[in-house]
Amino acid sequence: MTAPSEMFEHPRVRMKPKSDARAIRRGFPWVYANDIVTDRRTKALLPGALAVLEDEARAPLGLVAVNPASKIMCRMLDRDPAAVVDQAWFAVRLKRALELRERLFDTPFYRLVHAEADGLPGVVIDRFGETCVVQPNAAWAETHLDALAAALAGVTGVTCILKNAGGRTRALEGLDDVSGVLLGSAPDTPVHVPMNGATYMADLTGGQKTGLYFDQRDNHAFAARLAKGARVLDVFSHVGGFGLAALAGGAESALSVDGSGPALALSEAGAIASGVAGKFTTRQGDAFDVLAALGQEGARFDLVICDPPAFAPSKQALDAGLRAYERIARLAAPLVAEGGYLVLCSCSHAADLARFREASLRGIGRAGRSAQLLHTGFAGADHPQLPQLAESGYLKAVFFRL
């Protein structure tokens, strides 16, 4: 029998009549502001405060983190409304997450926590050996950061924990962009990350996101299977993602294109560490401009990969984002030699697989090419999806033979 709400120490927030409490009971982790009764007491709650969520009949649904300043007003933390969020609570979730990653990988380089899918809404943790980089992208996580860091150190045994405050959603939560060190000392040189037979250089304090994109690991590996003896073009290459993996797979050469000079410098260092520097070159510039220039130069490659940033980070940006994906495909397709391969990626959760694939095929068609769809890839298993939350399945990679 459910305990009456008066027994709970936390304040209570209630869903409006006709709001879909059934979705919450079935595992959807968010309640939007327009579904909550926003009375004076609710509006007075501090961002990150904990509260008991109730349905319209005042039956408790669980313990949530509240942020009255965010469109996602409540994030489900625990189905037990009497749960205590402390170091021990964090440790239970971190142990469960660690168990999965240690089963998947024999090296300590992976995404340890993938937000809602690992039971820690808005929290991303990437592990780089003895260092973990935490992105607390929700107000509640910022409020409980000390307990989270203590649990993380206790569960993993890492000697350094960094806070990365560069997440795009932090501004939506009313949070600052000040990064810092939570435990130990920040590495003063890039970390060597072994992955798919290559070595990547991850700048954990000055690089993009947490320093490296682990989510493409499986897609790198599939591309490497197509790369033996191939001339490879890797566009939006960051620190050498697809290009270095392709060279490890036996590619003849790889050209990495990115707008960031520091990222390209890290990719060059990775090529040296991987023993493939003689086959690896870089070109800095706007990706659209470089693709157009390569076309005018008559360049041809056996394998072309384009892994751009999120062109459609929200529903409002969807139409413009799909046009950008189409344009990338139109510019890249002519660079692919007859019978070669084109890999197009999207990390935009607002552009679902069907729409992204259609935009890619429109671009390929506008370039006068035809295609076979060989494979569709997603984020690796260290980026699990919460089935009820479409946003957790953001990454798509479509592999075509032209």
Active site (catalytic) residues: 347
Assigned token pair, 311: 């062109």
Start-end of H helices in 113-233: 139-143, 145-156, 169-172, 217-225
- In three-state secondary structure terms, 385 is coil
- In three-state secondary structure terms, 12 is strand
Please provide the distance, in angstroms rounded to a whole number, between the alpha carbons at the two ends of the chain.
61
Task: Please give the order of strands across the beta sheet that includes 12-14.
Answer: 12-14, 49-54, 60-66, 72-78, 30-32
Which run of H or E residues covers position 332?
A: helix 318-332
Spatial distance between the Cα atoms of 64 and 49, rounded to a whole number of angstroms: 8
CA distances from 304 to 84, 145, 282 (A): 51, 42, 14
CA 389 to chain centre: 14
Spatial distance between the Cα atoms of 214 and 326, rounded to a whole number of angstroms: 25
CA distances from 380 to 8, 54, 219, 249, 293 (A): 39, 35, 8, 19, 33
Q: Give the count of alpha carbons within 13 A of 392, CB side only.
A: 24
Spatial distance between the Cα atoms of 339 and 302, rounded to a whole number of angstroms: 8
Among the listed residues 189, 289, 209, 290, the one whose alpha carbon sits nearest the alpha carbon of residue 281: 290
Spatial distance between the Cα atoms of 117 and 402, rounded to a whole number of angstroms: 36
Match 């990365």 to its residue by tokens. Answer: 164
Match 């927030």 to its residue by tokens. Answer: 13
Within 10 Å of residue 71's Cβ, how many Cβ atoms? Answer: 11
DSSP type of residue 2: P
